[in-house]
A and B are shown apart, each in its own frame.
Chain A
Amino acid sequence: FPGLADVSISQDIPVEGEITVPVGSHSPDEDYSTLDEPVKDTIMRDLKAVGKKFVHVMYPRKSSALLRDWDLWGPLVLCVSLALMLQGGSADSKDDGGPQFAEVFVIIWFGAVVITLNSKLLGGTISFFQSLCVLGYCVMPLTVAMLVCRLVLLVGTGTVSFIIRLIVVGAMFAWSTLASTAFLADSQPPNRKALVVYPIFLFYFVISWMILTFTPQ
């Protein structure tokens, strides 16, 4: 460019300015990057979120926190611990025993996916992972029931222990179903609520049956 050949910028003229692309919403989370924080902070933040959701399940109220910030860590931990506790059951032959680890895992995850698909196909407005999150977290009362059952079975295996286990599992089953219904029922069309709640009932009933029929070696 001939006209610019003799243009020179003097060294003492400061050249400064701001190069920012105006963004519509500047949420406070993006003001600081989470890349530089200590690892402990990252882990504690996620753990606190998971813990808060456990508390929400224990005292089910209609709160949007469980739905908005979904995560699948809690369901994974619950599912794995439940499947592990269901191992070590009696088996005369490999074929007739209790469910294997993979079977429990598949039942819980595949069942949750099918129920979520069912509610979405019926016209529900909840998102896929939110529903998975709620269904997974509401397995927590049943995991507690499994723990109690194993402890009771350590003490004795007679009729009394069976009645105790029956009552505990029954109560936890009701709790799970009511908790998940409290979270999920609002997002369904009003004249199809029963159609959505029934598969959830069936899902927790099957898990409760697996817990109740667990017999140690």
Chain B
Amino acid sequence: MATADDLKFQEFDDAANLLAANPDATTISIDEPIEIPKNQHSRLQEPGREEDDELLGTDDSDKTELLAGQKKSAPFWTFEYYQTFFDVDTYQVLDRIKGSVFPVPGKNFVRLYIRSNPDLYGPFWICATLVFTIAVSGNLSNFFIHLGKPTYHYVPEFRKVSIAATTIYAYAWLVPLALWGFLMWRNSKVMNIVSYSFLEIVCVYGYSLFVYIPTAILWIIPQKVVRWVLMVFSLCLSGSVLVMTFWPAVRDDNRRIAVATVATILLLHALLAVGCLAYFFDAPELDFPAPIIPAHNGTTVVTKSH
């Protein structure tokens, strides 16, 4: 297949170095993730960690980080330095998006999809799309909710775009910065096997926000139950991507700190979703005037008046 060949060419250095170092290891390719090596068992420290090899990719973690350092050798004031962060093709971006929406249990997003080629294209444009999707969907949903009211005058609410942009970009860049700093600090105290570069963390966060885009569009539906079900569903999907990425990085640490870190990650993620829902989308059935139709029960009246 052409895509497999392209992939192999891109990871040429990776595979060559790895195979030179340990000929027994199987190479991982994106098309067949089930080929994760079984014969790496002999090289494990503890037998209980077998299933975690798929998460860790222990063999290539050091080498891929070395190679990641080799790739970005241009000085940071040249244009070429920043071009290395956009070295992705269309199908790679689509694969990464697919990996964030359908998280395979047990597979680490970074190891599987990023693999020492973190890009800034995905995080930046997913955040931009999310900003405008939330603003437009919020505006539309408010319009439909207040449609029949005689006192309602439609306003485009353009200020909310700037607020949405600030919030989402701050979340997508500052939280990874804080998390990266925290992981570096813990790394200096406890030898973790897995450590992520700052760009890889930004990448994971950016791609994990993708599932909120269809969620925001579906939030136009003015039913509270539907909205909360959608929220929980999308939170589970994107949260699981984050958890499966960061759990191996903190697992070696003190149990409480590891659990607290993962819990904080999930909490911030949930806060973002809940905050967006509360601020940009008016609650349906807010102060809808009850019509004169005799009602069987309260909720039926309100929904019928749509």
Instruction: Give chain B nearest CB distance to A124 CB in angstroms.
Output: 10
B136 contacts A209, C-beta separation under 8 Å: yes
Report chain B residues within 8 Å CB of A121.
79, 82-83, 85-86, 121
B159 contacts A96, C-beta separation under 8 Å: yes
Query: In the docked arrangement, what's the CA distance between A210 and B136, Å?
Result: 10
Report chain A residues within 8 Å CB of B90.
191-195
- Are A92 and B153 CB-contacts (below 8 A) given A192-B89, A195-B88? yes
A130 at the interface (CB under 8 A from B): no
B229 at the interface (CB under 8 A from A): no
Within 8 Å by CB of B155, from A92, A118, A210, lies: A92
Of B125-133, B184-192, B275-283, the one contacting chain A is: B125-133
B77 at the interface (CB under 8 A from A): no
Within 8 Å by CB of A213, from B89, B125, B156, lies: B156
B93 at the interface (CB under 8 A from A): yes
B158 contacts A98, C-beta separation under 8 Å: yes
Q: Which of B129, B139, B158, B159 has the most CB of A within 10 A?
A: B158
Q: How many A-B residue pairs have CB under 8 A?
A: 71
State the interface size on chain B (CB cutoff 8 A). 24
Q: Which of A97, A103, A192 has the most CB of B within 10 A?
A: A192
A96 contacts B85, C-beta separation under 8 Å: no
State the interface size on chain A (CB cutoff 8 A). 31
A206 at the interface (CB under 8 A from B): yes
Q: Which of B88, B121, B129, B136 has the most CB of A within 10 A?
A: B121
Query: In the docked arrangement, what's the CA distance between A15 and B173, Å?
Result: 75
Query: In the docked arrangement, what's the CA distance between A118 and B88, Å?
Result: 12
Query: In the docked arrangement, what's the CA distance between A118 and B82, Å?
Result: 10
Instruction: Give chain B nearest CB distance to A116 CB in angstroms.
Output: 13
Within 8 Å by CB of A198, from B83, B125, B136, B158, lies: B125
- Inter-chain pairs besides A90-B153, A99-B158, A202-B132, 9 sampled, C-beta below 8 Å: A96-B158, A97-B158, A118-B121, A121-B83, A121-B121, A122-B86, A199-B128, A202-B128, A210-B158
